[in-house]
Structures are given as structure tokens and as C-alpha cells.
Structure 1
Amino acid sequence: MSRATSTATPGLSPQFCFNERLLRDFLRLSRSTIDDSINQNLNALFTPAREGFDPSSTSVRQTDSSQGSTIDSTACQGFKDNVLFPSWQTRSDVLNYCAAVATSPDPEDPDLILRQTESAKDRERVVDERLDPYSARFFPREARTESLANLVRNQRNVEDIIRARTWGLVTERCSDSLTSWEEALNSWRERKQR
């Protein structure tokens, strides 16, 4: 089992978070390396030849796909502890950091003066809705912190969905207990801190 390259936390800085394309690419690459290819990762843990080849196994057609596909519990635990949970933790760290950046004041916002100017012009505008009912429409520019907050919120929702799907496959193939992925991740965090 190889350690995933996406578990390395990128250099976290506000510039990293505000570069939404770079943030999305990091999350997408990390997810594709571990979660999107979870079946392949789990199949790599399965060692059907550990008992040796049984010639009688070819005389009967195997129709039960789940028969014999349970992965060794030590291999499963190693995969979860060394690959899956660190990847999830890294993505959580990045999203938490970027959420903190999104809620902090942004003195370097390049559009701040432009938004203030637009807001001042909007306050001075006289609108006669009888002549043009759509003239009252004004769509202020969104601050980059607001845009980042929306991106982080959406990516957290995506994480929840992907982790639930991944955890479902892991518990099915590893014959794990029926704990949720949140409980399993928190348990791993506690073991790691000791």
C-alpha cells in the first residue's frame, strides 16, 4: 500500500485560499487519489492468494460476489490509519483554515475601493420605478471573503457526501463496526494525539 501524495498539507496562506481555482484543484486531486478510487485502493489490500491456490475453486462457478472479498482487518486498519484518515484530516485542516480566512477582515481586498464606489453611487441614484421598474436592481459585487466562505461551505457539503460514500464502502469491505465516519475519524484523531 502506497502512501498517497495528496496527504501533504499545502502551504497554507490567505493567497492559497483566495485562489479558488488552486483550492478547488487541491481538494479535487486529494479526493480523486483516495475517495474516488476507493474500490481500487481496497482491492489492492485484498490478498486472495494468502491461503494458496485451491484447484477445486475453479470447478464451481462463484456467483456470490461478497464471498471471500473481506479484507484482512490489519490491512484495513493500516489503510484507514495511514492513508484515508490523514487525507481526510488534511482536507479538513485546509477547509478550516480557509474558513478562518473567510471570516477575518481582508485589508488587501483588491475590489474594496471599487465596491465602496459602487455602493456610494447606488445610494445617490434616484430611481423612478414608474419609468423603469428594473432600474432599482443593483447587484453589489461580492467581497472575496464572501465568495471564499461560499466555496468553503459548498466544499464541506461535498466532503460530507464523499466521506459517507467512501466510509460505506470501507465498512462493507472491511467488515467494520457500524460507527459513522465522523466517529471513526474522531477516534483516529484521539489515538494520534496520545
Structure 2
Amino acid sequence: MSRPSSEPNLTPQFCFNQTALRDFLRLSRATIDDSISQNLNALLTPARDPFDPTKVSSQPRNPPSSRRRIPASRCQTFANQVLFPSWQVRSDVLAYCASVATSPDPDDPDVLLREVENAKAREREVDERLDPYSARWSPREARTEMLAGLIRNERMVEGIIRSRSWEVVKERCEDDGKLGGLGAEEALEKWRTQSKT
């Protein structure tokens, strides 16, 4: 069984290093969510009968809907020990970085450059009759604004990935009433409340 993602050392520098943040999220998703079918297949016990090559050519292929279902207890264990903790770690990282993005940034290395560019833009004379594009100027974004945009995008991606992974889990696992009726976020929230007690 796969292991849940471990939380990185959370610092503002980690969040502002967009490559490191994206790599962490990408690797965590690839290990657990992108390979959800393989992770679930690992929960099945191997076939009891030894391999018989004569059966391969004589039996028709089974349609995908007739795949062996995984016992609910194994699915619940996988979800509680691997899937939900990985989702929680990613949620914690995104929440921390969102708080960094909304906090003042006294260490912003581009603050002086932005102030100079803004001052030049205010002093510039614009004559749109001579140059219709002269009025166009877009200020450089602060790194907190860029981080906030990245976090918004990654939260949307996270929601899509969780929904897809949860649908695969519900499709492959036997339903004992614990997994079936819940959506991905409701199941995660239920796990959070149960793990706190």
C-alpha cells in the first residue's frame, strides 16, 4: 500500500518558491490520486487458482463493470491511512500558503522596482492620438498576488482531482454504507472529525 504524503517544511520561502510548491503538489497527486486504480488493485488478494494458459484463450474478456470489487474494510483502511491523510497534507499546505499570500510581505525583493515603475508610469505623458497604445501599462504583480493566483488555481485542481479519485474509490469498493453516499469533501470532513476524537 502506498504511504501518505509527508508535509514539507512550511515557510514563506517554500510558498514563494512556486516551483517547489507545484512540485510538492504534483508529486503528492501522482503518488496517490493519479495512480488510484493501481493503489486500489494492490488491495486485492491475488487469484487463488494458479495461472492456466488454456483458460485465457477460451474465456471471453470480462467487461470493466465485472471487475472484482474490493472489500469495504480494505477500502476504508486505504482511505483512512493513505488517501485522506494525503489530501489533508495538501489542504494544510494550500491553507498555509494562502495565509502567506494574504499577509504583508516586508521581504519582497521587487518592491523598490515596482515603486520606480509606478512612478515612471504616473509621470508619463499619454497622447492617444499619436500612439493609441501609449496608455497601456500593466503594473508588475507583487509576489503575494502571484502566490494568491497560484493557490486559487491549485485549489480548483485539487477539487477536481479529489472528486475523480473519490468516484474511482466508490466505483471499485463494496459499499457498506460508509463510503457510498458521500462526496469527496464530505468524506474528508467526516474523516477529520473522526480522527480528532
Does the CA contact (< 8 Å) of 2:98 and 2:148 recur in 1? yes
Task: Report the CA distance between 1:66 and its aligned residue.
Answer: 3.0
* Shift in Å, 1:64: 3.7
**Alpha-carbon distance, 1:48 to partner:** 4.6
Aligned to 2:118: 119
- In structure 2, list runs of 5 or more residues that go unmatched: none
**1:80-125 CA distance string (max 9 Å, x none):** 0000000000000000000000000000000001111111111111
2:44 to 17, 40, 46: 46
1:132-154 deviation digits (Å, cap 9, x = unpaired): 11011111100000000000000
TM-score of the superposed pair, with normalisation by structure 2: 0.90
The whole-number CA distance in structure 2 between the counterparts of 1:10 and 1:68 is: 37
User: Where does residue 190 of structure 1 map in the other structure?
Assistant: 193
In structure 2, the residue matched to 1:3 is: 3
Superposition pairs of residues 47-66 of structure 1, within 5 angstroms: 47-49=45-47, 52-53=48-49, 58=55, 60-61=59-60, 63-66=62-65
Report the counterpart of residue 105 of structure 1 in structure 2: 104
**Paired residue for 1:149?**
148
Match of 1:78 in 2: 77
- How many Å separate the matches in 1 of 2:131 and 2:124? 13
Residue 61 of structure 1 and its aligned partner are, at CA, apart by 3.5
How far apart are the structure 2 equivalents of 1:60 and 1:21? 50
Counterpart CA distance in 2 for 1:102 and 1:68 is 46
| Corresponding residue number in structure 2 for 1:24 | 22
**Contact 2:71 2:174 (C-alpha < 8 Å) held by counterparts:** no
Distance, in Å, in 2 between the alignment partners of 1:2 and 1:150 is 31
CA contact (8 A) 2:121 2:137 kept: yes
User: 1:32-81 CA distances to partner (integer Å, 9 max, x unpaired)?
Assistant: 000000110011011253xx3399xx475352433351001111111000
For residues 158 and 73 of structure 2, what CA distance do their matches in structure 1 show? 26
Q: Matches of 2:159 and 2:67 in 1, distance apart?
A: 30
* Number of equivalenced pairs: 190
Aligned to 1:33: 31
Instruction: For residue 9 of structure 1, report the CA deviation from its aligned partner.
Output: 0.4
Residue in 1 that maps onto 2:11 = 13
Q: Unaligned regions of 5+ residues in structure 1, if any?
A: none
Secondary structure of the equivalent of 2:3? coil
Structure 1 stretches of 4+ with a deviation exceeding 2 A read 52-55, 58-68
TM (norm. structure 1) is: 0.92
